[in-house]
Structure 1
Amino acid sequence: MEIKNRSALFDFDGKVKLKEIIPLGLQHVVAMIVGCVAPAIIVASMANLNLQDKIILVQSSLVFSGVATVIQIFPLFNKIGSRLPIVMGASFAYIPILSSIAEEFNVATIFGAQMIGGGVAIIFGIFSRKIAKLFPEVVTGTVIFSIGLSLYSTAINYMAGGTGNESFGSPKNWLIAMITLSIVIFLNFFTKGKFKLASILIAICIGYIIALFAGIVSFEGLNTATWFHMPKVLYFGLEFNATAIVSMVIMYIVNSVQAIGDISATTGGAMDRIPTEDEISGVIMGNGFSSIIGALFGCVPTATYSQNVGIVTMNKVINKGVFLLASIIIIISGLIPKISSILVSIPQCVLGGATIYVFATITMTGIRMICNSGLSTRNIAIVGLAIALGTGIAQVNGALGLFPEWVISIFGGSSIIVTTLVAILLNLVLPKDEIGK
């Protein structure tokens, strides 16, 4: 499409026409819609929610991901939000923690912990300049690497059909999952432009059609879903548990550091500058505030979306109208239960085939950050020991069996918590200047 007013698209406050921003806004929606829906579906399954509650969880996650994006574009009180071209959405990074909480407690406990985590994120945003020093690239990369590794079991579970499914582990589920994954790989490496950007969405659509012909798609929710539904305050409730709160707080701090990386990539790639302290503080506080509001209405934790950052750095389009339009489309999608019920009907094998690529990308992002920090003896020790202890304790049932229950809940349920704490501690105590390499 020929755009006459191109300069305005590269200006955050530029005046552009609707017809100019529609395709650009839709591109961002396509890039984030699957990532926004999948975490909610996975958490709903882990929590054994009924179909109606599953749809409501997806609805809320769509609506308040859109709201979180709007807050970033138009900061509250000129403080809460970054005023940058940032897209927010439900985050895959939280899935291991959310799954652990859902299995041990319930969804209400997730949202209680999320509310406290959001508050801590706001505090982190206020003091971001000082606290961020605890998370250099080697520590952040190690944590992200750990997050990716911990997600693999979730993806494989889904590729096999999902726990509790009568056909779990069947050749049919694996065939559909592998076809979906193959399409993602093909589109990413043998196509360009919109096909590459929308590879996950296209693969899920094709996998969905195959699953439909295979007879494993249920439209039970679509038949009963209404055309319009407003999210309800405290529909899932709030419960507060100390162990769940500690786990969530650590994840919010880690996520805040990742947000700094995302906005640094945005301003550096599309605006040729580094982010200001106010922008860094604003993006973190904006996500914290959005998380608190989301917890009240049933939206799982949100984060900055790196895939959308990639689009911004590629096309350099930063006009706020593009991102406002994308957020409005996401919000509208969440307000229409018919749309949410269709998304919920996606078979788990299809979802697993598509998301394992995303999880692999998360893992390699962590490895890339570790490599960027240098593979010195010191860094190898930090990464190796943090991953070894975090992953090892989580994999061995009963490894902390004689510890108090709260210790087991915090440190035994997810590898991420142990990995994060060990990486931070080693980074603080190991000498910066190596004696012999």
Structure 2
Amino acid sequence: MTSPHPVDTRPPWTRLLAFGIQHVLIMYTGCVTVPLVFGAAVGLDRATIGLLISADLLVAGIITVIQSLGAGRFVGARLPIICGATFVALAPMILIAKEYGLPAVYGSMLLGGLFGLALAWPFAMVVRFFPALVTGTVLTVVGISLIGVAGGLIVGTDPKDSAYADPARIGLAAVVLLVALAFTVLGRGVWSQLGVLIALVIGVLIALPMGLITLDGVSGADWLGVPRPFYFGAPEFPITAVVAMSIAMAVVFAESTASMLAIGQITGKPVGRGELGRGLAGDGLSAVLAGVFSSFVDTVFNQNVGAVATTRVFSRYVTAVSGAILIVLGVVPRFGAVVAAIPKPVVGGVGLVLFATVAVIGIDTLRKADLHDRVNLTIVAVSVGVGLVPVLSDDMFTRFPSSAQILLNSGITLAAATAFTLNLLFNHTRLGEIARGTTEAKPPTPEPQDPIAA
């Protein structure tokens, strides 16, 4: 009788619980940072941010269980993966919120998720059009774009505020950054993996005597409760916002594809179109649920891919237990309210580490592309340049229609569209032959197969 693959084995409950908790601890900070940053960027109060965190954890838990165990024939990769809120959709969400309001954010996310469900299986069949050249470019721009968001959390966004650019707040963020650096670099084993979380805790402890923490919203939060559907009102669907979120879904698909292929190599279980299609459908379903419950689009967390490689525990039942733990945390609103009380400089200090890491992952991914080829090098240069224009020159598109600014002011969207289009033109058509002076277009750079540890 053939023994089951390690991915499909079920360890004893003690090991299931221990490794499940470890996965949650590794991904927790990155997951809750997205609602913390989004809430702060659009000016939500702490009680509302707490509700976003609860919804975020609930949806992440549901999708993690589905991705681990599967749900029918068309959704769920059945791989040991952990899902959580992605930074890719963060910038478009902030722009949509400021232009159209929160009902438009979640309405566009809902339709973007439906678009993702429809796109999942076709995308799995055309994944060759999203090689390292494209995904690396997008991840690099994602990380660089979000560093400015972290800076805004540390310094503040209103120059007239008395706390704006307060040296004490900047010093607090610097301490958080140094603690994260020390544990991540000098720590061993789980201490290294939990470096960011430890920095977050120490930052909160330092902020207490500084008077930066208020728990006003905690006492009013319920101990138990399921996030209310359409909390911000009936969803709205501005066409520009829907297009922006649909493009964000395609970028999320490219990110998740690289992670699932990495899991396949680590575990030794082949990941074909079926697994990719079901896994990407899970991403699309996360956006649909997020649109309903006011949460965030989920993707495969790269730091947990690294954890699977490090621990050599391949069971998908372990990650299913992690998903169950996240669901429990998601239905405890008071827990979310406590996390929402974390001061912005502390979140900003942690965000600097996380966002810059995303940029470095993008650069590392680009190393797998053939940048010695002048055409590929130019594709990356143009795409990064176009993507960073709205980040470094935020007034560039102010005279364009406000609807157009949702797309043009999103560096991530511009970078993704530019890299995908140029790669398609110069690596999959006769234009490549003309540009290189060869008889055939350059074949696409293979998708990276090794794990990307965040």
Would you say the 8 A contact 1:124–1:131 is kept in 2?
A: no
Q: Distance in 1 between matches of 2:72 and 2:10?
A: 23
Q: Which residue of 2 aligns with 1:149?
A: 144
What are the Cα deviations for residues 145-172 of structure 1, in whole angstroms up to 9, with x where unaligned? 1111110110111122565864221111
Q: Decide which of 53, 62, 73 is 1:78's aligned counterpart.
A: 73
Q: Is residue 179 from structure 1 mapped to residue 182 from structure 2 by the alignment? A: no
The code of the aligned residue for 1:226 comes to: D
Moved more, 134-143 or 389-398: 389-398
Q: Which residue of 2 aligns with 1:221?
A: 217
Would you say the 8 A contact 1:294–1:300 is kept in 2?
A: yes
Would you say the 8 A contact 2:17–2:318 is kept in 1?
A: yes
Q: Which residue of 1 aligns with 2:100?
A: 105
Q: Is residue 261 from structure 1 mapped to residue 255 from structure 2 by the alignment? A: no
Q: Is residue 301 from structure 1 mapped to residue 297 from structure 2 by the alignment? A: yes
Question: Measured at CA, do residues 432 and 236 of structure 1 come closer, stay the same or move farther in structure 2, by a change above 3 Å?
Answer: same
TM-score by structure 2 length?
0.90
DSSP 3-state at the match of 1:303: strand
The code of the aligned residue for 1:331 comes to: I
Q: Is residue 87 from structure 1 mapped to residue 82 from structure 2 by the alignment? A: yes
What are the Cα deviations for residues 330-386 of structure 1, in whole angstroms up to 9, with x where unaligned? 111121122111100111111111121111111011111112102121111001111
Would you say the 8 A contact 2:92–2:406 is kept in 1?
A: no
Q: Is residue 414 from structure 1 mapped to residue 410 from structure 2 by the alignment? A: yes
Q: Distance in 2 between matches of 1:353 and 1:280?
A: 35
Q: Which residue of 2 aligns with 1:372?
A: 368
Q: Distance in 1 between matches of 2:245 and 2:140?
A: 18
Q: Decide which of 242, 246, 257 is 1:245's aligned counterpart.
A: 242
Q: Which residue of 2 aligns with 1:3?
A: none
Q: Distance in 1 between matches of 2:260 and 2:199?
A: 28
Q: Which residue of 2 aligns with 1:386?
A: 383
Q: Distance in 2 between matches of 1:295 and 1:31?
A: 26
Q: 1:126 Cα shift? A: 1.6
Q: Distance in 1 between matches of 2:156 and 2:169?
A: 6
Moved more, 277-286 or 103-112: 103-112
The code of the aligned residue for 1:304 comes to: V
Query: Gaps spanning 5+ residues in structure 2: where?
Result: 439-454
DSSP 3-state at the match of 2:98: helix
The code of the aligned residue for 1:96 comes to: A
Q: Distance in 2 between matches of 1:425 and 1:88?
A: 28
Would you say the 8 A contact 1:235–1:297 is kept in 2?
A: yes
Question: Measured at CA, do residues 336 and 393 of structure 1 come closer, stay the same or move farther in structure 2, by a change above 3 Å?
Answer: closer
Would you say the 8 A contact 1:162–1:348 is kept in 2?
A: no
Q: Which residue of 2 aligns with 1:4?
A: none
Q: Distance in 1 between matches of 2:183 and 2:189?
A: 10
Q: Distance in 2 between matches of 1:226 and 1:34?
A: 22
Question: Measured at CA, do residues 50 and 188 of structure 1 come closer, stay the same or move farther in structure 2, by a change above 3 Å?
Answer: closer
Would you say the 8 A contact 2:65–2:321 is kept in 1?
A: no
Q: 1:266-305 counterparts in 2 under 5 A?
A: 266-269=263-266, 271-305=267-301
Moved more, 50-59 or 349-358: 50-59
Q: Decide which of 131, 137, 153 is 1:136's aligned counterpart.
A: 131
Question: Measured at CA, do residues 369 and 124 of structure 1 come closer, stay the same or move farther in structure 2, by a change above 3 Å?
Answer: same
Would you say the 8 A contact 1:81–1:287 is kept in 2?
A: no
Q: 1:401 Cα shift? A: 4.6
TM-score by structure 1 length?
0.93
DSSP 3-state at the match of 1:228: coil
Moved more, 310-319 or 392-401: 392-401
Aligned length: 427
Moved more, 294-303 or 390-399: 390-399
The code of the aligned residue for 1:360 comes to: A
Q: 1:426 Cα shift? A: 1.6
Would you say the 8 A contact 2:387–2:415 is kept in 1?
A: yes
The code of the aligned residue for 1:92 comes to: F
Q: Which residue of 1 aligns with 2:425?
A: 429
Alignment root-mean-square deviation, CA: 1.9
Q: Distance in 2 between matches of 1:178 and 1:394?
A: 23
What fraction of aligned residue pairs are identical, expressed as a percent?
26
DSSP 3-state at the match of 2:6: coil
Would you say the 8 A contact 2:154–2:345 is kept in 1?
A: yes
Q: Which residue of 1 aligns with 2:47?
A: 52
Q: 1:3-22 counterparts in 2 under 5 A?
A: 11-22=6-17
In the TM superposition, structure 1's runs of 4+ consecutive aligned residues that sit over 6 Å from their partners are none
Q: 1:398 Cα shift? A: 4.5
DSSP 3-state at the match of 2:286: helix
Question: Measured at CA, do residues 96 and 299 of structure 1 come closer, stay the same or move farther in structure 2, by a change above 3 Å?
Answer: same
Would you say the 8 A contact 1:43–1:102 is kept in 2?
A: no
Q: Is residue 25 from structure 1 mapped to residue 20 from structure 2 by the alignment? A: yes
DSSP 3-state at the match of 1:12: helix
Question: Measured at CA, do residues 239 and 392 of structure 1 come closer, stay the same or move farther in structure 2, by a change above 3 Å?
Answer: same
What are the Cα deviations for residues 166-199 of structure 1, in whole angstroms up to 9, with x where unaligned? 4221111111101110011111111110101111
The code of the aligned residue for 1:204 comes to: L
The code of the aligned residue for 2:129 comes to: L
DSSP 3-state at the match of 1:372: coil
